[in-house]
């Protein structure tokens, strides 16, 4: 009889391929948050948005480890909740005084409640999805668990997780099913595949369906199965790029960025806002590409520097972390 030990199924060490993919994804995250680039290339932005965050969610669902004590998992949640609350509140305050898309006009209890628990603001909705899906995932796989789970128990609990996420997304305003499904898929990869590399078959042939899907505007909705195909294609393409990356310095730099996507994700809006005031210096480039490259570099370096200063000054404890940088 096949016995599947839960900790054996769930435990996967960080690997370089995931870090490489995350580095490329964080570049895309910054790119779509550059207002100037989005105004010049709305269709390109729409294409990127179709697969970017679904891919991030799949990876996140895969990486989350629920084989922990309640205390350990509460620490994990706290390290997401604190950055979420601090940055969302800060973003709301800033949006009162600076031209920020989807900003708030007044600061009152109702606004704070709606933004923190329902709509979120800026790029920080991703943390809310991580929190809600993570809680459901942990509860389902640890409720009345007395030891390692049998293979059939893993399947049953995975189905129960699907029900939990479906009910939460359908009957409350706190979670979107279109976001939760990709987290759920990532969990499934962890449980039933185990090695993330097994779903990342490196090939440039994936470019063909990738482009065909993205050029059809009706297929870009996250609720469409085509988006999942796009995610798979993107993983295949980036895996092939990773396999061909022969420059050790560039690879190590990308892997470092991939390990530190959290601080970059948290702090990059500061620099995308500031970059609005540098557009005038790139007037010679009608494509906006040079300004976008400048902003991406600024966001990455600036965010890592902020994290470094926080680590040195022990301010990282604000986010319940000894250090932010890995």
pTM of the model: 0.90
Q: What is the pLDDT of residue 147?
A: 67
* Spatial separation of the C-alpha atoms in residues 136 and 74, rounded to whole Å: 13
pLDDT tens-digit series, residues 17-36: 999 999 999 999 999 999 99
Q: How much is the pLDDT for 14?
A: 52
Tokens found for residue 173: 């305003």
Secondary structure, 3-state, the chain: CCCCCHHHHHCCCCCHHHHHHHHHHHHHHHHHCCHHHHHHCHHHHHHHHHHHHHHHHHHHHHHCCCCCCHHHHHHHHHHHHHHHHHHHHHHHHHHHHCCCCCCCCCCCHHHHHHHHHHHCCHHHHHHHHHHHHHHHHHHHHHCCCCCCCCHHHHHHHHHHHHHHHHHHHHHCCCCCHHHHHHHHHHHHHHHHCCCHHHHCCCCHHHHHHHHHHHCCHHHCCCCCHHHHHHHHHHHHHHHHHHHHCCCHHHHHHHHHHHHCHHHHHHHHHHHHHHHHHHHHHHCCCCCCHHHHHHHHHHHHHHHHHHHHHHHHCCHHHHHCCCCCCC
The confidence score (pLDDT) of residue 119 equals 86
Would you place residue 13 in the very low, low, confident or very high pLDDT band (cuts 50, 70, 90)? very low
d(CA 131, CA 238): 27
Condensed to tens digits (0 to 9), the pLDDT of residues 274-315 reads: 998 999 999 899 999 999 999 999 999 999 999 999 999 999
Tell me what the pLDDT averaged over the chain comes to.
Answer: 89
Q: In angstroms, rounded to a whole number, what is the distance separating the alpha carbons of residues 69 and 77? A: 12
């Amino acid at each position: 009889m096949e016995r599947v030990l839960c900790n054996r199924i769930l435990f996967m060490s960080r690997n370089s391929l995931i870090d490489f993919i995350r580095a490329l994804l964080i570049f895309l995250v910054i790119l779509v948050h550059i207002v100037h680039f989005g105004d010049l290339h709305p269709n390109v932005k729409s294409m990127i948005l179709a697969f970017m965050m679904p891919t991030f969610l799949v990876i996140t669902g895969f990486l989350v480890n629920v084989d922990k004590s309640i205390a350990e998992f509460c620490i994990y949640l706290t390290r997401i909740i604190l950055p979420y609350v601090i940055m969302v509140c800060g973003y709301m305050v800033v949006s009162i005084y600076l031209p920020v898309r989807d900003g708030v006009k007044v600061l009152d209890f109702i606004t704070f409640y709606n933004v923190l628990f329902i709509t979120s603001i800026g790029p920080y909705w991703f943390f809310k999805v991580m929190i809600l899906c993570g809680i459901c995932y942990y509860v389902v796989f640890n409720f009345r668990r007395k030891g390692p789970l049998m293979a059939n128990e893993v399947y049953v609990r995975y189905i129960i997780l699907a029900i939990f996420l479906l009910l939460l997304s359908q009957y409350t305003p706190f979670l979107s099913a279109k976001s939760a499904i990709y987290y759920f898929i990532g969990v499934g990869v962890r449980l039933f595949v185990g090695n993330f590399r097994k779903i990342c078959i490196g090939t440039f042939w994936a470019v063909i369906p990738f482009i065909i899907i993205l050029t059809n505007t009706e297929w870009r909705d996250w609720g469409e199965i085509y988006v999942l195909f796009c995610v798979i294609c993107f993983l295949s393409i980036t895996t092939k790029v990773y396999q061909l990356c022969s420059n050790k310095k560039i690879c190590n730099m990308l892997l470092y960025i991939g390990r530190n996507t959290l601080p970059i994700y948290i702090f990059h809006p500061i620099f995308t806002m500031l970059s609005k005031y540098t557009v005038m210096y790139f007037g010679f480039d009608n494509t906006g590409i040079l300004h976008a490259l400048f902003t991406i570099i600024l966001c990455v370096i600036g965010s890592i520097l902020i994290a470094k200063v926080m680590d040195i000054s022990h301010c990282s404890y604000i986010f319940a972390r000894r250090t932010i940088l890995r």
